[in-house]
C-alpha cells in the first residue's frame, strides 16, 4: 500500500501497556505531516516519552500500527528497528544519554562510530564542529562530559541528534532546564535543522511560552478521553 | 572495527587503574609459567650438555651432587678433598686421561680453578686474547670474568683469603693475568684458571721467600745446622710471583699428597671406562667415580618434580586470576549497562555492542600478551646468567 508523501508519522489503533504497572496508552489515530513542527504536551506519566520510544522503535509496538514515512515500525524486528532508528531518527533524550568517557566531539560523532550505515568522514567532522559552534559549545569540544554544565550537556546531545541529518527529530524535553536565552537559541537551531533538511520535529515540552512557535500542539489529555487527533 | 577499537581505547584511557590492574594480572599469570618453563629448559640444557660432555669424575665419597656441581660448575659446595695421587693413579692405569681440578679458592667472587693444560683441550677452550698458562702465578680469565672485572692480559688479580681473619692460613696471591678465554656460554666463562700448582701456592703449600742460606740478620734464623736452616716467622714471603723471584718458589713434601677436589677422567674407550669404574667399586675405597650425566639426570628429575608442584600451584592461581578477571569484566559490563542502553537507544546493533566489549578485551589481552612477550624476551636474553644464578651457583 502506498501512502501520501506528506505524512511522516501515521499511527492507527495503537494500544500499548508495559508488562508491569497500570500504565496504558491508546491512540486510535494520529498523523504528523512531513516538515511539521509538533509540540507534545501533557501531564507527567501520560505517555509522551513512551510515544516517542514507540515511534523510534525503542519500545516494540504490541497492538496497532505505526508508520514513519513508508516504514511500518510495528512489523520490523529488533535488528531492523535499530537500523531504522540510527539512519532515520535523531533522538534528543530527556537525560541526554552522553558517554562520560568520551569528550564532546566524540559524543557528537558517536552514532557514526557505532554503525556502518553512517559514514564518518572529514566532512562530517567539520559539520560537527560547525554545529557545536552554532550551539555555543565550540570551545568545549575536547572537554569530557563530566566537566560540562547541564545546559552544555543538553546542547551536546542535540548536536549528536542533528549531525546525521535525520528525517525525523524526536526531542524529549530538549529545552528543559535551559535559561530563556538558550532555550530560544536551541529551538531556533532545531527549527533551522528541520527547515534545512525538510525534517519533521516531534518535541515533548512543558514550556508554554514556546508553544506558539510550533505548527501544532498535541495534548495528551485528549488521548485519555477520546484517543484521536 | 577501527571505530570499535577507538571507543574501547577511550574507555580504557578513562579507566586507567582498573585496566592497569587487569593487564598486570593477565601478564603475570601468562608470564610465570612461560618464564619458569624457559628457565627450566635452559637449566636443563646447561646442566645436561656440560654433564654429557664430561665422561667420568673421580672424587671423595660423599655427595655425588656436590662433587659434580663443584668440578663441573665450580659451585661453592666443596666436596671432601682428595690427593693428587688419585690423578696419578688414573694416569698409571692407562685407561683414561686424568685432568685434576682444584676448585676451592676465589678471586673477587669468582672461582679459581686449578687444573692442567689438558682441561683447555678437553673443554675446547680457546684463548681470545693473550696466551695460555705457562708459569706459576699466571692466570687465564673466563670471558665474563674479564668483562665483569674489566681485566685484560698484563693486569693482575688478587686471590681472596678464605676467611678475613685467617692469619695463619691462605694469604692472597697476586696473580698475573696472561690471557682471556673466548666466550663458551658455560661455567668456564665465570672462572679464573690457574695451574694446579698455583692453587697450592695460594693455599700456602708452596711458597717463595728470601734465600735462608744467605741471611745475615740473626733474628730471621731460628736454628741452623749443616743441612737445614729453620727461619723465624719474620722471614719475608713473596705474595707475587715474578720473573725475579720465581726460582725461590718451592713445595715442601710430596706433591702427590697435595689436595685437589676432583679428577675428570676422560676414558679412551667404553671398555676402559667400564674397567675404570669397576676399580672404584670396593667398599674400602675412599674415592668414588661417577658419571655426571646420571647425577644431573637425577637432579633434573627432582627439579621437574618440583616444577610439577609449581605448575599445579600456578594453575590454581591462574584459575583464581581468570575467575577474578571474568568477574571484573562482568562487573564492568554491569557498570556499562547504562552505556549499552544508550547505544541501543541510538540504534546500535547487537553485533556492534558485542564488538565494542570485545574490542576492550582484545586491547587488554593484546597489551598483556605484548608485555608478556617482552618480559619473556628479556628473560630469554639473560636466561644463561639467570639459570647460573638461580640453579647452578
The complex's ipTM works out to 0.86
Answer yes or no: do B314 and B198 share one domain.
no
Among the partner residues A86, A97, A100, nearest to B347 by beta-carbon distance: A86
**Who has greater pLDDT, B239 or B31?**
B31
pLDDT tens digits for range B310-362: 888 888 888 888 888 888 888 888 888 888 888 898 888 888 888 888 898 89
In chain B, whose CA is at the least distance from the CA of A58? B345
Examine the pLDDT at A176 and tell me if it is beyond 80. Answer: no
User: Within a domain: residue B21?
Assistant: yes
Q: Do the beta carbons of residue A225 and residue A42 sit within 8 Å?
A: no
A106-147 tens-digit pLDDT: 999 999 998 888 888 999 999 999 989 988 889 999 999 888
User: What integer best gives the mean pLDDT of chain A?
Assistant: 86
The per-residue DSSP string of A92-130 comes to E-TT----TTSBHHHHHHHHHHS-SSS---HHHHHHHHH
Task: Output the nine-digit C-alpha cell for A62.
Answer: 504490541
Nearest to A114 among B11, B341, B346 (CB): B346
Q: Are strands B138-141 and B96-107 parallel, antiparallel or unpaired?
A: unpaired
Cell of residue B384, nine digits: 644463561
**C-alpha closest to that of A214 among A226, A197, A202:** A202
Digit-coded pLDDT (tens) for A182-206 = 788 788 878 887 888 888 999 998 8
Looking at the fold, whether B172 and B314 belong to one and the same domain comes out as no
In this prediction, residue A229 carries a pLDDT of 43
What are the residues facing A171 on neighbouring strands? Answer: A92, A203
Whether residue B225 is contained in a domain is answered as no
pLDDT confidence of B121, banded at 50, 70, 90? very high
Domain of B73?
56-205+252-290
Q: Which residue from A98, A59, A111, A96 is spatially nearest to A173, judged by alpha carbons?
A: A96
Per-residue exposure over B172-211, b if at least 16 CB sit within 10 Å of its own CB, e if not: ebebbbbbbbeebebbbbbbbbbbbbbbbbbbebbbbbbe
**What is the model's pLDDT at position B362?**
92
How far apart CA B351 and CA B335 sit, in angstroms, is: 19
Closest residue in A to B13 (Cα–Cα): A101
Gap from A115 CA to chain B (nearest CA, Å): 6
Chain A residue at shortest CA distance from B347: A82
**Which pLDDT score, from 0 to 100, does residue A2 have?**
39
Mean pLDDT in residue range A2-21 = 79
pLDDT at residue A228 in the model: 42
A59 touches chain B (CB under 8 A): no
Specify which residues B264 forms β-bridges with.
Answer: B57, B99
Rounded to a whole number, what is the distance in Å from the CA of B20 to chain A's nearest CA?
A: 17
State the pLDDT at residue A224: 55
Contacts of residue B84, Cβ cutoff 8 Å, sequence gap at least 6: B100, B196, B255, B256, B257, B258, B259, B260
Range 121-160 of A in CB contact (< 8 A) with B: 144
Task: Judge: B346–A144 Cβ closer than 8 Å, yes or no.
Answer: no
Contact call for A83 and B6, based on CB within 8 A:
no
CB-count burial class (<10 Å; 0-12, 13-18, 19+) for B94? exposed
CA distance B211 to B109: 34
Shortest CA gap B332–chain A (Å): 14
pLDDT digits (tens, 9 = 90+) for A30-52: 899 998 999 999 888 888 899 99
| Torsion angles phi and psi, residue A224, rounded to 5 | -65, -30
Position B164 in a domain:
yes
Is position B228 within any domain?
A: no
Which band of pLDDT confidence, cut at 50, 70 and 90, is reported for residue B168? low
A106 CB neighbours in chain B (<8 A) are 7, 10
Put simply, the answer to whether A79 touches B344 (Cβ < 8 Å) is no
Q: Is A82 on the interface with B (CB under 8 A)?
A: yes
Residue B319, judged by CB atoms within 10 A of its CB (0-12, 13-18, 19+), counts as exposed
Smallest CA-to-CA distance from A39 within A177, A206, A223 is with A206
Say which residues have a Cβ less than 8 Å from residue B18's Cβ, sequence separation at least 6: B328, B332
Distance CA A125, CA A130 (A): 9
Exposure string (b/e) for B59-72, b if CB count within 10 Å is 16 or more? bbeebbbbbbbbbb
Which one is predicted more confidently, A77 or B40? A77
What mean pLDDT comes out for the span A9-17?
Answer: 89
So where are chain A's domains? 7-225
Question: A82 vs B347: CB contact, 8 Å cut-off?
Answer: yes
Q: Where are the beta strands (DSSP E) in B42-169?
A: 56-60, 82-83, 96-107, 110-115, 127-130, 138-141, 156-158
Distance from CA of B326 to the nearest CA of A (A): 22
CA–CA distance, B141 with B107 (Å, rounded to integer): 11
Q: Summarize pLDDT for B61-118 with one digit per residue, the tens.
A: 989 999 999 999 898 888 999 999 999 999 999 999 999 999 999 999 899 999 999 9
d(CA A132, nearest CA chain B) in Å = 19
Percentage, residues of chain A above pLDDT 90: 44
Is residue B368 located within the same domain as residue B258? no
Instruction: Inspect the interface and report whether the beta carbons of A79 and B349 lie closer than 8 Å.
Output: yes
User: Is the pLDDT reported for residue B183 higher than 50?
Assistant: yes
Least confident among A16-20, A78-82, A169-173, B8-12: A16-20
Residue B213 lies in a domain: no
Asked whether the predicted pLDDT for residue B37 surpasses 80, the reply is yes
Say if the Cβ atoms of B347 and A100 lie within 8 Å: no
Query: What is the grid cell recorded at B169?
Result: 692460613
Cell of B25: 594480572
| Per-residue model confidence (pLDDT) at position B163 | 63
Interface test with B, best of A88, A98, A103, A114 (most B CBs within 10 A): A114
Residue of B nearest to A98 (CA): B342
Q: Does the CB of A1 have a partner CB in chain B at under 8 Å?
A: no
pLDDT at A1 over 70: no
Question: Which chain A residues have a beta carbon less than 8 Å from that of B14?
Answer: 100-101, 144
> pTM of the full predicted structure?
0.69
> What integer is the mean pLDDT of B148-169?
80
Instruction: CATH number for A7-225: choose from 3.40.190.10, 3.40.50.720, 3.40.50.300, 3.10.129.10.
Output: 3.40.50.300
Per-residue pLDDT tens over the stretch B257-273: 999 999 999 999 999 99
pLDDT digits (tens, 9 = 90+) for A86-95: 999 999 988 8
For the segment A206-224, the average pLDDT, to the nearest whole number, is 83
Share of chain A above pLDDT 70, in %: 94
Counting residues of chain B whose pLDDT is more than 90, the rounded percentage is 43
Mean pLDDT of B197-214: 79
The continuous run of DSSP H or E covering B301 comes out as helix B292-335
User: Which pLDDT band, with edges at 50, 70 and 90, does B169 fall under?
Assistant: low
Count of domains observed in chain B: 2
B173-182, B203-212, B295-304: segment of lowest average pLDDT: B203-212
CA-based nearest distance A145→chain B, Å: 12
**What's the CA gap between B18 and B389, in Å, rounded?**
36
Which residues in B lie closer than 8 A to residue A121 (C-beta atoms)? Answer: none
Residue B236 lies in a domain: no
Residue to substitute from B346, B355, B357, B360, interface A, most A β-carbons within 10 A:
B346
Q: What is the pLDDT of residue B392?
A: 60
Closest CA to B133 of B176, B172, B171, B93: B176
Interchain contact, A110 vs B349, CB within 8 Å: no
- A to B CB pairs, distance under 8 Å: 66
Amino acid at each position: 500500500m502506498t501512502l501520501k508523501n506528506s505524512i511522516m508519522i501515521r499511527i492507527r489503533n495503537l494500544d500499548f501497556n508495559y508488562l508491569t504497572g497500570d500504565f496504558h496508552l491508546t491512540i486510535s489515530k494520529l498523523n504528523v505531516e512531513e516538515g511539521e513542527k509538533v509540540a507534545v504536551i501533557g501531564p507527567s506519566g501520560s505517555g509522551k516519552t513512551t510515544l516517542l520510544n514507540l515511534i523510534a522503535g525503542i519500545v516494540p509496538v504490541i497492538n496497532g500500527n505505526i508508520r514513519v514515512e513508508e516504514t511500518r515500525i510495528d512489523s520490523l524486528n529488533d535488528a531492523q528497528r535499530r537500523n531504522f532508528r540510527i539512519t532515520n531518527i535523531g533522538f534528543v533524550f530527556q537525560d541526554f544519554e552522553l558517554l562520560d568517557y568520551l569528550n564532546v566531539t566524540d559524543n557528537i560523532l558517536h552514532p557514526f562510530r557505532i554503525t556502518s550505515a553512517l559514514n564518518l568522514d572529514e566532512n562530517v567532522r567539520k559539520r560537527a564542529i560547525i554545529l557545536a559552534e552554532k550551539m555555543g559549545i565550540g570551545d568545549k569540544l575536547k572537554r569530557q562530559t563530566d566537566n560540562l554544565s547541564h545546559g552544555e550537556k543538553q546542547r551536546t546531545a542535540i548536536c549528536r541528534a542533528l549531525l546525521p541529518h535525520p528525517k525525523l527529530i524526536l526531542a524529549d524535553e530538549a529545552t528543559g532546564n535551559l535559561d530563556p536565552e538558550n532555550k530560544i537559541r536551541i529551538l531556533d537551531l532545531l527549527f533551522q535543522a528541520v527547515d534545512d533538511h525538510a525534517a519533521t520535529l516531534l518535541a515533548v515540552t512543558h514550556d508554554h511560552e514556546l508553544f506558539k512557535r510550533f505548527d501544532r500542539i498535541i495534548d495528551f489529555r485528549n488521548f485519555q478521553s477520546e484517543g484521536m487527533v | 572495527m577501527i571505530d570499535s577499537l577507538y571507543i574501547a581505547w577511550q574507555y580504557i584511557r578513562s579507566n586507567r587503574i582498573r585496566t592497569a590492574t587487569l593487564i598486570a594480572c593477565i601478564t603475570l599469570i601468562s608470564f610465570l609459567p612461560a618464564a619458569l618453563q624457559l628457565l627450566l629448559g635452559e637449566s636443563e640444557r646447561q646442566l645436561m650438555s656440560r654433564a654429557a660432555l664430561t665422561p667420568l669424575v673421580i672424587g671423595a665419597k660423599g655427595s655425588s651432587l656436590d662433587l659434580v656441581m663443584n668440578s663441573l660448575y665450580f659451585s661453592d659446595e666443596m666436596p671432601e678433598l682428595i690427593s693428587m695421587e688419585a690423578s696419578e693413579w688414573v694416569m698409571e692405569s692407562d685407561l683414561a686421561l686424568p685432568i685434576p681440578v682444584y676448585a676451592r679458592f676465589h678471586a673477587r667472587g669468582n672461582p679459581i680453578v686449578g687444573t692442567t693444560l689438558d682441561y683447555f683441550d678437553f673443554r675446547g677452550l680457546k684463548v681470545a686474547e693473550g696466551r695460555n698458562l705457562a708459569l706459576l702465578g699466571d692466570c687465564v680469565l673466563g670471558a665474563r670474568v674479564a668483562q665483569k672485572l674489566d681485566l685484560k692480559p698484563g693486569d693482575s688479580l688478587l686471590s681472596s683469603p678464605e676467611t678475613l681473619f685467617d692469619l695463619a692460613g691462605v694469604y692472597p696471591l697476586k696473580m698475573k693475568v696472561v690471557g682471556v678465554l673466548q666466550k663458551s656460554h658455560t661455567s668456564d666463562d665465570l672462572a679464573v684458571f690457574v695451574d694446579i700448582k698455583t692453587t697450592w701456592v695460594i693455599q700456602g703449600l708452596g711458597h717463595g721467600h728470601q734465600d735462608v742460606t744467605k741471611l745475615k740478620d740473626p733474628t730471621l734464623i731460628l736454628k741452623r745446622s749443616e743441612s737445614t736452616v729453620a727461619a723465624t716467622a719474620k722471614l719475608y714471603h713473596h705474595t707475587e710471583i715474578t720473573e725475579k723471584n720465581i726460582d725461590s718458589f718451592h713445595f715442601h713434601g710430596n706433591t702427590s699428597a697435595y689436595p685437589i677436589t676432583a679428577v675428570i677422567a676422560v676414558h679412551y674407550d667404553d671398555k676402559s671406562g667400564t674397567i675404570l669404574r669397576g676399580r672404584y667399586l670396593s667398599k674400602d675405597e675412599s674415592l668414588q667415580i661417577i658419571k655426571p650425566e646420571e647425577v644431573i639426570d637425577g637432579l633434573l628429575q627432582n627439579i621437574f618434580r618440583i616444577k610439577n608442584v609449581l605448575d599445579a600451584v600456578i594453575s590454581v592461581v591462574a584459575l583464581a586470576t581468570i575467575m577474578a578477571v571474568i568477574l571484573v569484566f562482568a562487573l564492568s559490563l554491569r557498570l556499562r549497562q547504562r552505556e549499552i542502553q544508550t547505544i541501543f537507544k541510538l540504534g546500535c546493533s547487537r553485533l556492534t555492542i558485542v564488538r565494542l566489549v570485545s574490542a576492550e578485551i582484545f586491547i587488554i589481552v593484546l597489551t598483556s600478551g605484548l608485555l608478556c612477550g617482552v618480559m619473556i624476551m628479556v628473560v630469554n636474553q639473560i636466561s644463561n646468567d639467570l639459570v647460573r644464578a638461580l640453579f647452578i651457583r
